[in-house]
Amino acid sequence: MSNIRALGLVSGGLDSTLAVKLMLDQGIEVIGVNFNTGFCISDTRRQVRRRKDQQANLRHEALRAGSDLNFPVEIVDVSQEYLRIVTNPRWGYGKNANPCVDCRIMMLRHAWALMPQFDAKFVFTGEVIGQRPMTQHRFTMRQIEKQSGMDGLLLRPLSALRLPETQPEKIGWVDRNKLKGITGRSRKPQLALAVEFGLTDFPQPAGGCCFLTDPAFGRKFFDYLQHIPKGYQVTLEDFVILKVGRHLRLQSGLKMVVGRDEAENNFLESYLQGRWALRAKDVVGPVALLDGGANPEELHEAACILARYSDGRDFPVVAVQCQKSGREKILSVVPLTAEVTSRMLII
Ligand code: SF4
């Protein structure tokens, strides 16, 4: 069974790593594929925290899994296409802003299209029946397979014994007897398999890897969608900013983002173009961005909020520097109270 090559969707989490191991142990040559949707939590942490959290674990898990098990990993950027999916998913959202069914279909379609390039005979994933509410129901898994065009050529090695036989098994590229029949939400079977395979280094599943499943991000995401002007084309940058800072709506509905720490302040400094940047002048405080063409009242209100989050929050007056495209204003404002500010928070 040598020289049979397969593409594996690899996140670097335990399930996809185990699926790879099951394939490698059968002599299948594995090419890992990892999709960058633009909503990966660890990717953003690497961008935002790289100076502050040098000790933090910010590695790329798919590449780490490839290195540990000695198989190549291709990173495929689908972030532009994903914008369309995440803002208008055909199959709807999960519990938060996660369009998981559309997302899986898109990833599998890409994998399908990549098969000739890598001379791959089939595609496999680390999915487990019943483990995730939205995408890993038996019925949904079947729908995803059909919608992606992968009918019969998509193998789920961890749950294969509970699923119909696939082409790779029927043809004999893969020995069905060496596949697993894991189902359900318990992680115990996978952890036992990890012990059996001697795998010790993998991310904890509870941490999550996708911003879209995070309730706080979901609130900011849907708030953003509700406020998009008609005809406006969303960009990746719009969503990048949703991943950092405190987000508030002024009374007029204008959006303001306030950095929560030095790393976020530094990150926001890269997104000043076309926005007002507010900073406390004589006391330590965050950087804040204010959307679009704020009028004088809105700028004043934003400065009061900024002052609230500065070290001058208990001062009678704080000087706030407001800059946009070479213009500068210094406003002396009274910091808002915590109570008023909290009512404006989206999160
Ligand atoms: S959690 Fe859902 S939306 Fe996020 S990457 Fe996974 S399948 Fe896609």
Among protein residues, the one with the nearest Cα to ligand 1's atom 5 is 210
Q: How far apart are CA 75 and CA 42, in angstroms?
A: 14
> DSSP per residue over 223-268, as a string?
HHHHTPPTT----HHHHHHHTSSEEEE-TTS-EEEE-SSHHHHHHH
pLDDT tens column, 147-192: 999 989 999 999 999 999 999 999 999 999 999 999 999 999 999 9
pLDDT at 291: 82
Q: What is the mean pLDDT of residues 216-244?
A: 91
pLDDT at 208: 61
pLDDT at 287: 98
Q: Is the pLDDT of residue 137 over 80?
A: yes
Record the tokens describing residue 50, joined without a space. Answer: 């790289």
Plot region of 202 (φ>0 → left; ψ -120 to 50 → alpha; else → beta): beta
pLDDT tens column, 90-113: 999 999 999 999 999 999 999 999
Record the tokens describing residue 318, joined without a space. Answer: 């704080």
Of all atoms in ligand 1, which is nearest to the CA of residue 100?
Answer: 2
Under DSSP, the state recorded for 177 is: G
Q: What is the mean pLDDT of residues 43-53?
A: 67
Question: What is the whole-number distance in angstroms between the Cα of residue 57 and the centre of ligand 1?
Answer: 21
Question: What is the whole-number distance in angstroms between the Cα of residue 153 and the centre of ligand 1?
Answer: 21
Q: What is the mean pLDDT of the chain?
A: 92
Ligand 1 neighbours, Cβ below 6 Å, are 37, 98-100, 103-104, 135, 210, 212-213
Picking from 117, 343, 171, 151, the residue whose alpha carbon sits closest to that of residue 249 is: 343
Among protein residues, the one with the nearest Cα to ligand 1's atom 4 is 210
Could you give the domains of the chain?
5-210 (3.40.50.620), 244-344 (no CATH)
Mutate to test the pocket of ligand 1, among 98, 106, 125, 128 (most ligand atoms within 8 A of CB): 98
Record the tokens describing residue 107, joined without a space. Answer: 């990833």
pLDDT at 207: 47
Q: Produce one character per residue of 4-17: b if its CB has 16 or more CB atoms within 10 Å, e if not.
A: bbbbbbbbbbbbbb
Question: What is the whole-number distance in angstroms between the Cα of residue 103 and the centre of ligand 1?
Answer: 6
Among protein residues, the one with the nearest Cα to ligand 1's atom 2 is 100
Question: What is the whole-number distance in angstroms between the Cα of residue 35 and the centre of ligand 1?
Answer: 10
